[in-house]
Amino acid sequence: MHAIAERLQPVRQAIDARTLIMGVLNTTPDSFYDGGRYAAFETALARAEQMLAEGADILDIGGESTRPGAEPVPEDEELRRTLPVIEAIATRYPQATISIDTTKSRVAELALQAGACIINDISGMTFDPRMAEVAAQAGALVVLMHIQGTPRTMQLSPHYADVVAEVRDTLRAHAQRAEQAGIPRENIWLDPGIGFGKTVQHNLQLLRHLPTLKSLGYPILIGTSRKSFIGHLLGGLPPEERLEGTLATLALAVAWGADIVRVHDVQAAVRTVQIADALVRGGAPMV
């Protein structure tokens, strides 16, 4: 627990001063944008080094694709994809803050032992009832996301009477369950789950109403990077051509209250967020 507290210290110190950058590292063959690029150990490690050099505050490592329609991955395979990478990063870059992107408590538990200190759970710790216990005992920070359905089914027919109110209420319930399980309030971040069981309009409404989610009193993480709603708004562009659209969403998310942004393109995001922070938060350095 002491090691985890030490690894969390940099993000704790920075989060009140600026927007944090979480870099995506998918060690999967089938993720929607970078699937297969970093499935090999050496390429994953090189990508981690690159993202840290570009200014990533957190490396979010996942071994199971959560793209729409994705099938579950066996626990052993998820561990095989993620643990060696986490161990190597933690050894070579002891100051790095590492997140494990998983819904499986055993994967989270072993990842924390290997050097991770954050659990990023797209289910808000609802898919695996043991997840909250693992996080609480380890002293890990948790990212609790909203999802309607599962990755396999979430985009079949998303429906809400009031998407902002329903997502807010679900996130509040996730946070309350986490606190009841012994996870301290300061170790809870919330994510509205852009693209996870939402239409284009649902995503836009959630982004416009980030202040409503901020009113819950927890840091808000936003993940819009290269997602399909951006492609839709730009006339059907594929993921490879959605960078500019992504950066527009990041700047506005910061203006509307996002505390952390989860991105594939770290350098571009760092530069975008630096300008947005200067405009929104003030305190830009004199030149």
Q: For residue 215, how many other CB atoms are within 10 A of its CB? A: 12
For the chain, the C-alpha Rg in angstroms (whole number) is 17
Tokens encoding 253: 């998310």
- Stated length of the chain: 287
| Contact yes or no for 134/103 (Cβ under 8 A) | no
Residues involved in catalysis: 227, 262
DSSP element (H, E) containing 146: none
Q: Would you state the torsion angle of the CA atoms of residues 49, 263, 253, 160, taken in this order, to the nearest 10 degrees?
A: -150
Say which DSSP state 108 is in. Answer: H
Helix (H, G, I), strand (E, B) or coil at 280: helix
Residues 6+ apart with CB under 8 A from 113: none
How many angstroms separate the CA atoms of 64 and 121, rounded? 12
Position 41, amino acid: F
